[in-house]
Amino acid sequence: MSNVLLETKKVVKRFGGLVAVNKMDVVIEQGSICSIIGPNGAGKTTFFNTLTGIYKPEEGEIVFDGHHTIGLRPDQITDLHIARTFQNIRLFGSMTVLENIMVGMHTRLKQSGVDALLRTRKFREEEKKAFAKATELMEYVGLHGVGDELARNLPYGGQRRIEVARALASQPKLLLLDEPTAGMNPNETEDAIRLFRRVRDDLGITILLIEHDMRVVMGISERITVMDYGEKIAEGLPAEIRANKRVIEAYLGRGAATEIIA
Amino acid sequence: MRRIYESTVLRELLRPLGQIAIFVTATGAIFSVAMLLLALLFRGSAADRLLQENNHINIFAFTLTNLPQVLVDGVTLGFVYAAIALGYTMVYGVLEFINFAHSEIFAIGAFVGVEVLIALEGAGQLSSIPIWLAYVFLALAVIAGMAAAGGMAMLVEATAYRPLRNAPRLVPLISAIGVSFFLQDAIRFTESITTGQFHRIIPTFGNFDQRVSLVKLPLAGVVTDINIQIKSIVVIAAAVLMLVGLNYLVNATKVGKAIRAVAQDRPTASLMGINVNLIISLTFLVGGALGGAAGVLYALKFTRIDPFVGFFPGIKAFTAAVLGGIGNLTGALLGGIVLGMLESFAGAYLSAFTMGAAGAEYKDILAFAILILVLIFRPSGLLGEQVGQKA
């Protein structure tokens, strides 16, 4: 079972004098659902950005699926089968829903400009397959008949779903979700949790999420990592985290911790 | 499912044709009506009397009989501007800066195309050849111009813009102006050491200079022969082909989706596995190639080129891009057609309507007045900033 998909060793990311991520060690096992939690500004999103290559960490090591990823460009890392969604939805608003999903397939489609120019049989067949796959993914995340709508015209919950579909389109082994249920109502949140479980169970995709909503975190995670001021302050099963004194301190302050424990 | 997909492809091929038809007809109709109304207003004026005295024609009849020819010329010029404007607008779409070196990219295309033809002429290949061979040679020159201009645009991007990608916005702009001067003088230098001449003239070959009569119309009592030079038809056909091709590339292929994704959100595009630098290079290649082709077509139409040939068409195409809405591909097409039409109308009528006080050479004033007016009153351009059409 100890099949490690992602391992970070002492990852450090500084912005000038500020240490945004400090010596993060995380181990994610294949096929698990893990969460990173922590107060605002703890460095969770920055940590995600080091994983996807948007930021280059100053120190440490990131090994994903046997590849050292530090120094690779974001598109090269995506090529290794990591996909992500964003805290603030970042769809291509003026492309249609299907086009958004097809952009997600970019690295998996093999067609050259020459193919496109000549409209070779290979090109046409691949386009057709891509189109069918995108439609399938759209329906998989629970959207129907909106393929030709502009992405920005969909309601908030729908846009979140497209982001997931777009991420899935790149055939990830690891899916990074940055606050996937932020701004959702309880019903939408329930749907989202079910969707993430299905993604893991049906497609075997490992999920790492950042989340503030404790119902989501406790409901879905198998392991939880807690960050505060850029450092990992705790790690463990949901039940362990719930009872961890340092975690409660980080969230509610020192006084509160003693009160609750007592 | 299959039907929807096939219809998408068809739509992306037909839509630009429809747009072109609408833009040309609408612009032509609006300009014609406005001009005829103006002619009616001028009836009995000093300009009218002068025209009657010298040419024995009243101003309304003068306007009407010239109109078809003016429209044909306007469309030809408009397509050349549109093809150049697309280069400005594509680069603006992905990088949000004006590539002022684009006018020299255009000039490089023109020079390479013309030099290819001059070399062919020197080898005795252009005289008394069958018509089809003339078209093959012209296509060859256009392709050579496209390759050279596209390659140069990529080179400029890699050397002069990419290192400044994260600099403040003014810095790459200044770099672009520098590149523009550099390329101008580079062309001059190359031409003077290889040929000893600064200006080159495209060889006469094939049937491009002939005119075909389209229709004979009785206008204002005079039977007017409306004709068009074959080279104008070639220019229009080539430009339409390129515009449709570009629209197809941008809207119906994987590369096009990548270009639009980079235009909308560069970091997110890179997280989708898109190699952003490659796509930006490609945008310069495509925009540059369009500019280069426009250069060869321009040389074909206007015959004589010099190292500064890019300046005016370039700045007018820039005006066209701004007029249509910079960053908007459809806008560049519309802006090009409007500007070409305006220039053709001004060139034909300005002199008669001002009794020779302001001749055709003042037509540029109108183009640049438009630039200023658009920037003041509608900076987002006629079609506004449709990010969806950004490329």
Residue ranges per domain, chain B?
2-389
**pLDDT score recorded for residue A260:** 58
Residues in chain A closer than 8 A to B387 (CB atoms): 93-94
Q: Binning pLDDT at 50, 70 and 90, where does residue B389 land? A: very low
* CA B320-B323-B328 angle, 5° bins: 85
Task: Calculate how close chain B gets to A78, using CA atoms only, in Å.
Answer: 5
- State the average pLDDT over residues A132-142: 93
pLDDT in tens, A220-245: 999 999 999 899 999 999 989 888 88
Q: For chain A, first and last CA: distance in Å?
A: 38
Q: Is B1 on the interface with A (CB under 8 A)?
A: yes
**pLDDT score recorded for residue B390:** 41
- State the average pLDDT over residues B283-289: 95
B257/A170 touch (CB, cutoff 8 Å), yes or no: no
A93/B1 touch (CB, cutoff 8 Å), yes or no: no
**pLDDT score recorded for residue A249:** 83
Q: Is A30 on the interface with B (CB under 8 A)?
A: no
Which SS3 state, helix, strand or coil, does residue A79 take? helix
For the cut 80, the answer to whether the pLDDT of residue A256 exceeds it is no
Residues in chain B closer than 8 A to A73 (CB atoms): 270, 275
For the cut 70, the answer to whether the pLDDT of residue A208 exceeds it is yes
Name which of A55, A75, A111, A177 to mutate to probe chain B: the one with the most chain B Cβ atoms within 10 A of its Cβ.
A75
Sorted by sequence, the CB contacts under 8 Å of residue B209 that are 6+ apart come out as B229, B230, B231
Residues in chain B closer than 8 A to A102 (CB atoms): 254, 257
A95/B260 touch (CB, cutoff 8 Å), yes or no: yes
Residue in chain B closest to A96 (alpha carbons) equals: B388
Q: Is B166 on the interface with A (CB under 8 A)?
A: no
Q: Binning pLDDT at 50, 70 and 90, where does residue B387 land? A: very low
Q: Binning pLDDT at 50, 70 and 90, where does residue B382 land? A: confident
**pLDDT score recorded for residue A232:** 92
**pLDDT score recorded for residue B278:** 92
Residue B297 CA, distance from chain mean position: 9
Residues in chain A closer than 8 A to B1 (CB atoms): 131-132, 135
For the cut 80, the answer to whether the pLDDT of residue A118 exceeds it is no
Which SS3 state, helix, strand or coil, does residue A110 take? coil
- State the average pLDDT over residues B202-208: 86
Q: Pick A201 or B363 by higher pLDDT.
A: A201
pLDDT in tens, B111-135: 999 999 999 998 887 888 888 899 9
ipTM > 0.95? no
Residues in chain B closer than 8 A to A168 (CB atoms): none
Which string of DSSP letters, residue by residue, matches B312-372? Answer: HHHHHHHHHHHHH-TT-HHHHHHHHHHHHHHHHHHHHHHHHHTTTSS-GGGHHHHHHHHHH
Q: Is A204 on the interface with B (CB under 8 A)?
A: no
For the cut 50, the answer to whether the pLDDT of residue B2 exceeds it is no
The pair of structure tokens assigned to B271 is 């997280």
Q: Is A94 on the interface with B (CB under 8 A)?
A: yes
pLDDT in tens, B29-45: 999 999 999 988 888 88
- State the average pLDDT over residues B219-229: 76
Residue in chain A closest to B274 (alpha carbons) equals: A75
Residues 264-283 of B with CB under 8 A from A: 264-265, 267-276, 282
How many CB pairs (< 8 A) connect A and B? 92
Q: Pick A57 or B47 by higher pLDDT.
A: A57
The pair of structure tokens assigned to B48 is 């009218």
Name which of B272, B278, B386, B387 to mutate to probe chain A: the one with the most chain A Cβ atoms within 10 A of its Cβ.
B272
**pLDDT score recorded for residue A117:** 64
pLDDT in tens, B146-160: 999 999 999 999 999
For the cut 70, the answer to whether the pLDDT of residue B258 exceeds it is yes
User: Over pLDDT 90: what percentage of chain A?
Assistant: 56
For the cut 90, the answer to whether the pLDDT of residue B186 exceeds it is yes
A113/B274 touch (CB, cutoff 8 Å), yes or no: no
Of A53, A103, A130, the CB nearest to B272: A103
B59 burial (CB, 10 Å; 0-12 / 13-18 / 19+) is: buried
- State the average pLDDT over residues B58-72: 87
Residues in chain B closer than 8 A to A106 (CB atoms): 254, 257-258, 261, 272-274
Kindly state the DSSP code that residue A150 receives in the 8-state scheme.
B
B1/A90 touch (CB, cutoff 8 Å), yes or no: no
Helices B102-122, B311-324: inter-axial angle, 10-degree rounding: 130
Residue in chain A closest to B278 (alpha carbons) equals: A75
For the cut 80, the answer to whether the pLDDT of residue B48 exceeds it is yes
Q: What is the mean pLDDT of chain B?
A: 88
CATH 1.10.405 fits B2-389, yes or no: no
Q: Binning pLDDT at 50, 70 and 90, where does residue B391 land? A: very low
Q: How far apart are CA A86 and CA A235, in angstroms?
A: 24
A127/B388 touch (CB, cutoff 8 Å), yes or no: no
Q: Binning pLDDT at 50, 70 and 90, where does residue A111 land? A: low
**pLDDT score recorded for residue A1:** 44
Q: Binning pLDDT at 50, 70 and 90, where does residue B351 land? A: confident
For the cut 80, the answer to whether the pLDDT of residue B347 exceeds it is yes
- State the average pLDDT over residues B304-316: 91
A103/B264 touch (CB, cutoff 8 Å), yes or no: no
Range among A16-25, A153-162, B103-112 rated most confident? B103-112
CATH 3.40.50.300 residue window(s) in chain A: 1-81+172-262
B140 burial (CB, 10 Å; 0-12 / 13-18 / 19+) is: middle
For the cut 70, the answer to whether the pLDDT of residue B311 exceeds it is yes
- State the average pLDDT over residues B271-294: 93
For the cut 50, the answer to whether the pLDDT of residue A189 exceeds it is yes
Q: What CATH number is given for A1-81+172-262 in this structure?
A: 3.40.50.300
For the cut 80, the answer to whether the pLDDT of residue B99 exceeds it is yes
